[in-house]
Structure 1
Amino acid sequence: PKVNLSNGIVERAEVLMRWEHSSLGWVSPEEFISLSELDGQIEKIGTWLFKKSIADLVTLRKQYGDKVSLAINVSPRQLQTSQIVEEFTYLLQETGLSPECIELEITEGCVIDDLEQTGKILWELKDLGLRIAIDDFGSGYASFAYLSKLPVDVLKLDKVLIDDLETNNDMTDMLKSIIDLCGRMRIEVVAEGVENERQVNMLKELGCHYIQGYVYSRPITRENFEKILINQPFIYPKDAHQ
């Protein structure tokens, strides 16, 4: 879930993949996603994920209102051709879904590796009306010089930037500068990996828009996400400070 810091309302979520193997049990996403990237299966997995996510989103919006939206992670391999553009063109036409309720998350490393090709595909996706998010910002070497060349709607601050927020004044000042600059560029800011109420309050003071993290919720099933949509506004779990 993504929590709106201004009102505590949850209307957005990020789609995460989990795999329970018949004999291996739960396999870490770091393992099976990396392997599927190497052997090319990630494209088929990604196609399935898009279809499943959009089908779920259509249902959620019918039940809980048209403000509900989902963010879906996109593999670097999927940005090497226009197939992803064709897939979303078809899915949007097939479902009649408003494109602005779909957010595609791209890692900052993917942007740097091939700015020209990635930028081309991202602009085509943006032209469809989809929202574009840069994920894991701060974990690598992306800069606002890159962001200014791309159709970025959302910047997701990596957990590494949040971990020292309470003890490092320089980090606080840097985050303030990032959030202020994003405001001038009309880019929403989401903080990932938020783990306690003090971090929440500091990020709110800095002007951050949305938060994800264990302070609110661990990754949950669609059914449990629906419970959150029903019980608004979202409040801290009793064990949030433990």
Structure 2
Amino acid sequence: MNDRSLRLYALISGFKSVKTYKSKIMLIAFIGTHIPLLSMLVYVVFSHSLTLATTINLLAIALIATLLGTIATLFALHYLLAPVKLTSQALQHYLEQQKLPNLPTHFNDEVGTLMADTNRTIKQLDRLIRYTTNYNNLTGLPNQDLFQNLLQQTLAQANNNQQIGVIIVHLSSIKDINSILGRKISNLLQKKIALRLANRIKKIDILAHLSEDEFGIIKKNFKSFDELNFFTQEVIELLNKPFSLFGKEINTNPKLGITVYPFDGITAEQLLQNANTALYQIRQEEHQNCQFYSIKNNTKLQRRLAIKDQLRYALRRGELFLHYQPRLDLTNNYPVGVEALLRWQNPQLGLVPPTEFIPIAEQSKLIVSIGEWVLRSACIQQQIWQQEGLPALRISVNLSVNQFKQSNLIKRIDEILAETNFNPNYLELEVTESLFVENFEQTIRLLKQLKHRGINLSLDDFGTGYSSLSYLQQFPIDTLKIDRSFLFDIPSNTDNTSVTKGIIALAQSLNLHITAEGVENSAQLEYLKAQGCHEVQGYYFSKPLSAYNLTSFLSSYYRQLEETAS
């Protein structure tokens, strides 16, 4: 558009008193209609041929005619400008109130075309905005907001006997695929997942694409929980089938959280929250795929979340502490070491069992900083015991899988040993079999570096994990620890007796030291001693004790041994 055509408009806009477009038109019309009157006035003033009476009559007629013409012109312009005003108001109402216009579309001139085009454009724009607001732009499925609105509508239409299932499908591999294989393959995979699900669900049901790695399903009119469960298993089987993309077979690892109206909630918010609660629970399980919501599980989840929240501050607040369980040499019944066991006392949660908070610490990676604190504290405590006159004891500390994944693991252990002036010959690091599942060669290399420093290495909970004999022969370990589960009811339990005997024989054949944990009675002790077990620990001798109580226990124990010997 040529800006010259706007010069007059810009000039008139410079007058502050002329604010609206209508007033600008009226001004021009007023000037235009008064030009003849002004011309006549000039003629009369400078003409000497007219009589005074004629001049007055002529001016009166001209003035009346001009005024009437001006009024008529302004009145007509007022209505002729109505389409422009209505178009402007329609745009303003849509911008401020999202109100769709209803302008006439049957006029053919320029202003009529303007109204029709504005009407059509706003409605097209509104459809586009509503689509992008309510639908996933990748798959075209309803998004999370629309899914919740559709669920609300479904619940409003449901009768008293109708059951409605809400299913949240999480595909845990999507983000990894996006990071490793790229956005293009990830987007194509999401489209294929949407198509596969859409082909499976009924027309009355609702499928939505909630986020990059989550889909939602509203399952209507199912007759029983068995029917809903059968449907969810079909969804799992459907998504467990690999997707073929660019010559690659891709698995999605589906997890489903399920909630049912009216049993688990009567509002859309309740049902979605509970479905996500069930999904959160099942995502913690490695070998399961779906979870129905239950109040019992929700209580467990709330506690888990509370533990996770409080655990972040436990180290800073000084809520963590260590207990120590003594380990005895069966050849002379002398304490030769202690295992450092982590404990947590929280002002809100009380004494939290290690079985509850340690897995959460592992999952949240807090175990790395906590593990370093445990190692440092145990080393310092061993030095204190020696200063108090107790014999040097081997300190056993657990090393987590996440700690082992740290690139600076060896450096951090060296720094802690240097800070505490600790002799590495008195340190035993316990690792589990799961450590060797990933990156076996790297794990062996790190363990050899630790062993080279004089640190003892122990394989904890042997027999409960993944080890094979061929792997075990390559482990640079010193000690094999028999898990407490294998000591249950021995020697009367023939299965556990056979397993324990086999583990001891295996360790002996590999020239490894053997430690049994969880010894609770004399029958277990005598059997282990007869089989050639070297060291034991358990409640038969002592429960885990605080550093102060362990000092008293060891002092008393050594005195009893001396008295017995004398």
What's the TM-score, normalizing by structure 1?
0.89
Aligned to 2:475: 150
Q: Specify every segment of 5 or more residues in structure 1 that has no aligned partner in the other structure, as ranges.
A: 236-242
Which digits, 9 at most, give the CA deviation of each residue in 1:176-216, with x for residues without a partner? 34323323423111111111101100100000011111111
Aligned to 2:503: 178
Quick check: which one's helix share is greater?
Answer: 2
Q: Specify every segment of 5 or more residues in structure 2 that has no aligned partner in the other structure, as ranges.
A: 1-325, 561-566
Query: Quick check: 161-170 or 134-143, which moved more?
Result: 161-170
- For residue 89 of structure 1, the aligned residue among 393, 414, 424 is 414
Q: 1:100 aligned to 2:100?
A: no
Aligned to 2:530: 205
Aligned equivalents of 1:89, 1:177: Cα separation in 2: 36
Is contact 1:10–1:228 with CA below 8 Å preserved after alignment? no
Aligned to 2:543: 218
Mapping of 1:41-190 within 5 angstroms?
41-65=366-390, 67-169=392-494, 171-190=496-515
Which digits, 9 at most, give the CA deviation of each residue in 1:117-143, with x for residues without a partner? 322221111121111000011222323
Is contact 1:10–1:234 with CA below 8 Å preserved after alignment? no
Residue 84 of structure 1 aligns with an amino acid whose one-letter code is: L
Aligned to 1:240: none
Deviation at 1:66, TM superposition (A): 5.1
Aligned to 1:230: 555
What SS does the aligned partner of 1:17 have? strand
Which digits, 9 at most, give the CA deviation of each residue in 1:21-80, with x for residues without a partner? 011101121221111111211111111111111111112233345531110001101111
Aligned equivalents of 2:348, 2:427: Cα separation in 1: 34
Aligned equivalents of 2:559, 2:543: Cα separation in 1: 14
- For residue 36 of structure 1, the aligned residue among 361, 365, 372 is 361
Aligned to 1:238: none
Cα distance, 1:184–1:65 mapped onto 2, change above 3 Å: farther
Mapping of 1:11-30 within 5 angstroms?
11-30=336-355
Q: 1:2 aligned to 2:331?
A: no
Query: Quick check: 188-197 or 161-170, which moved more?
Result: 161-170
What SS does the aligned partner of 1:232 have? helix
Query: Quick check: 195-204 or 164-173, which moved more?
Result: 164-173
Which digits, 9 at most, give the CA deviation of each residue in 1:130-169, with x for residues without a partner? 1100001122232332221121111110012111421234
Cα distance, 1:4–1:46 mapped onto 2, change above 3 Å: same
Aligned equivalents of 1:8, 1:234: Cα separation in 2: 13
Is contact 2:328–2:536 with CA below 8 Å preserved after alignment? yes
Is contact 1:193–1:214 with CA below 8 Å preserved after alignment? yes
Q: Indicate the percent of aligned positions where both proteins have the same amino acid.
A: 34
Deviation at 1:232, TM superposition (A): 2.9
Residue 104 of structure 1 aligns with an amino acid whose one-letter code is: L
Query: Quick check: 226-235 or 155-164, which moved more?
Result: 226-235
Cα distance, 1:227–1:111 mapped onto 2, change above 3 Å: farther
RMSD, matched Cα: 2.0
Residue 22 of structure 1 aligns with an amino acid whose one-letter code is: P
Aligned equivalents of 2:385, 2:472: Cα separation in 1: 31
Query: Quick check: 201-210 or 91-100, which moved more?
Result: 91-100
Cα distance, 1:113–1:196 mapped onto 2, change above 3 Å: farther
Which digits, 9 at most, give the CA deviation of each residue in 1:218-239, with x for residues without a partner? 111111211232123598xxxx
Aligned equivalents of 1:38, 1:103: Cα separation in 2: 24
Deviation at 1:5, TM superposition (A): 1.1
What SS does the aligned partner of 1:142 have? coil
Residue 13 of structure 1 aligns with an amino acid whose one-letter code is: V
Is contact 1:131–1:152 with CA below 8 Å preserved after alignment? yes
What SS does the aligned partner of 1:18 have? strand
Aligned equivalents of 1:19, 1:170: Cα separation in 2: 36
What SS does the aligned partner of 1:211 have? strand
Aligned to 1:239: none
What SS does the aligned partner of 1:132 have? strand
Aligned equivalents of 1:196, 1:116: Cα separation in 2: 40
Aligned to 1:193: 518
Residue 86 of structure 1 aligns with an amino acid whose one-letter code is: K
**RCO greater where, 1 or 2, for CA within 8 Å and sep 6 or more?**
1
Residue 42 of structure 1 aligns with an amino acid whose one-letter code is: I
Is contact 1:175–1:206 with CA below 8 Å preserved after alignment? no
Cα distance, 1:224–1:128 mapped onto 2, change above 3 Å: same
Aligned equivalents of 1:30, 1:116: Cα separation in 2: 30
Residue 133 of structure 1 aligns with an amino acid whose one-letter code is: S
Aligned equivalents of 2:354, 2:499: Cα separation in 1: 31
